Amino acid sequence: MRIDLSIRQLLPRPGESSPNLAWGDALAELEARALDVAVIPLGDLPARFVKRPLYDEEFVIAMRAGHPFARDRSLRGYCAQRHLVVSQSGDPSGFVDKALARRNLVRHVALTVPNFHFALALLSDSDLVAAMPRQFVSTHGARHGVVAVDAPLPLRRFRVHLVTPKVALMDAGLSWLVKSLEQAARTPAVHPSRS
């Protein structure tokens, strides 16, 4: 038996305000069997899909090791930093800016990049800070000399789910893949120590 996996990064379309609309393409592609499994932060789903929770995620503030913000993590100190924003569309305003605006605060966005990996590379060699998913920084940050601290204001938390059509689970290979992904999500990652 051969399992043909097609893995793509799924991102919301630029400008989408509702998570359900933003991830609608993923559901359509799952139904069309263009995708076998989607790993996405989506809440309510039609009954024809299976949704399994993989992990909970939250945003933290990432920066190079030794960054001055690590010593002064006040909200005022945070707003005074130069910020890097991960935005596929290039829009420098996001959920952090909305959280700051509720407190009548603003930050200075110096740069936007299209993905979290590029953001890590830039953070490692600059004085920029960025809001990034905790598990992503925990997994990939050390290679770049990037560390994370808790945000000085409440930021969005979300649950990441594995989603597939119910009918797809009748395929033994796909059923195995779903179980393997669930097991991998429950198993703590082991990172080799740096030399």
Are 100 and 41 members of one domain? no
The answer to whether residue 175 sits within a structural domain is: yes
Are 67 and 51 members of one domain? no
**Highest mean predicted confidence (pLDDT) among 15-19, 126-130, 172-176:** 126-130
Separation in Å, CA 43 to CA 97, 137, 159? 23, 24, 8
The whole domain housing 142 covers 57-149
Which residues have C-beta within 8 Å of that of residue 7, sequence separation ≥ 6?
A: none
Are 30 and 42 members of one domain? yes
Q: Which residue type sits at 144?
A: H
Q: Identify which has the larger pLDDT, 157 or 147.
A: 147
| Residue 12, pLDDT score | 44
Tens digit of each residue's pLDDT (9 = 90 or more) over 72-84? 899 999 999 999 9
The answer to whether residue 193 sits within a structural domain is: no
CA–CA dist 30, 18 (Å, integer): 19
Q: Identify which has the larger pLDDT, 129 or 23.
A: 129
CATH assignment of the domain containing 32: 3.40.190.10
CA–CA dist 76, 4 (Å, integer): 51
| 15 Rama class: left (phi>0) / alpha (psi -120 to 50) / beta | left
pLDDT at position 194 over 70:
no
Q: Which residue type sits at 82?
A: R
Are 94 and 69 members of one domain? yes
Are 98 and 132 members of one domain? yes
pLDDT above 70 covers a percentage of the chain that reads 84
pLDDT at position 137 over 60:
yes
CB 49 within 8 A of CB 166: yes
The answer to whether residue 88 sits within a structural domain is: yes
CA–CA dist 168, 175 (Å, integer): 8
Our CA dihedral for 187, 193, 194, 195, rounded to 10 degrees, sits at -150
pLDDT at position 122 over 80:
yes
Tens digit of each residue's pLDDT (9 = 90 or more) over 104-114? 999 999 999 98
Are 73 and 23 members of one domain? no
Taking alpha carbons only, the member of 128, 132, 168, 170 closest to residue 149 is 132
pLDDT at position 140 over 90:
yes
| Residue 195, pLDDT score | 37
